[in-house]
Amino acid sequence: MQGKIIKGIAGFYYVDVAESGIYECKAKGIFRKEKKKPLVGDNVEIEVLDEKEKTGNLIQILPRKNELIRPAAANVDQALVIFAVRQPDPNYQLLDRFLITMEQQEIPSIICFNKKDLAEQEELERMCQIYSSCGYQVLLTSAEQEEGISQIRRILEGKTTVVAGPSGVGKSSLTNLLQGEVSMETGEISKKLKRGRHTTRHAQLLTVGEHTYLMDTPGFSSLFVEGMEKEELRFHYPEFAEYEGACRFQGCVHVHEPDCAVKQAVEEGKIHSQRYQNYVSFYEELKEQEKRRY
């Protein structure tokens, strides 16, 4: 019997099997021996131990399309990166790090600015411009006023989407609205664990439609981008691409070099100055990390 892991906690894995429900499973010892840990989002094969109690064993992890380190998850189609317009104010450097983390895994990202009711239209347009100008799809929502929910639903349909962002931006409020009454089955897990449905301590998959999953994750206040060399960073800013090779120096990293096409584009307003500031800040941080290593 095959299904998808929708939550893993304390050595138990909850597997959603189409038309059969959710099974509470333990992983076979072979996974520990092979040092392969089942992840939320894994498509797996299980053996049923008790159909009435819905218990079983994980016996095989099917091939993964991709794998995220933080949050630990597999087989993600896209990311919905949620930040607040206000309360808390958006940390654009942190937002860039979420985007870069997804870029490293070749997972497309959609940016959602929640709590739109707390800002004026002019400010909202300015925030959107920072990221829409470099090719990202940007949504404006208000969980409080239930605005923008239908647009998110259309984007999620038929996909497994990881929801990411810092604490306090309204991820759980949006998730509750998106989930609605579609997936009462996930409540089975909460009953067993005696916890609320959306007190997010671990990554978990929530069903929001047929073959449509939301991967809710704990909030982050900081994020370390794994395995990034400072010279690679520029390739994760898509708006730089058309200027690569147009600088005076080959291998220009677009920070201190003279006659830099990227810096010129920033001055001319072709690249948003906020994004460029984020890039320079992150580059200098990676440079300091490199110094400490050596």
Binding residues for GTP: 114-117, 165-173
User: Among 272, 281, 282, 23, which Cα is nearest to 136's?
Assistant: 272
Contact (Cβ atoms closer than 8 angstroms) between residue 109 and residue 81: yes
Q: Is the peptide bond between 38 and the residue preceding it cis, with omega within 30 degrees of 0?
A: no
Q: Return binding residues.
A: 114-117, 165-173, 247, 252, 254, 260
- For residues 136 and 124, the answer to whether their CB atoms sit within 8 Å is no
Of 100, 96, 72, nearest in space to 83 by CA: 96
Q: How many whole angstroms from its chain centre is CA 135?
A: 17
Give the Cβ contact number of residue 160 at 10 Å: 21
Annotation: binding site for Zn(2+):
247, 252, 254, 260
| Rg of the chain over all Cα atoms, to the nearest angstrom | 21
> Residue with structure tokens 């940016």?
111
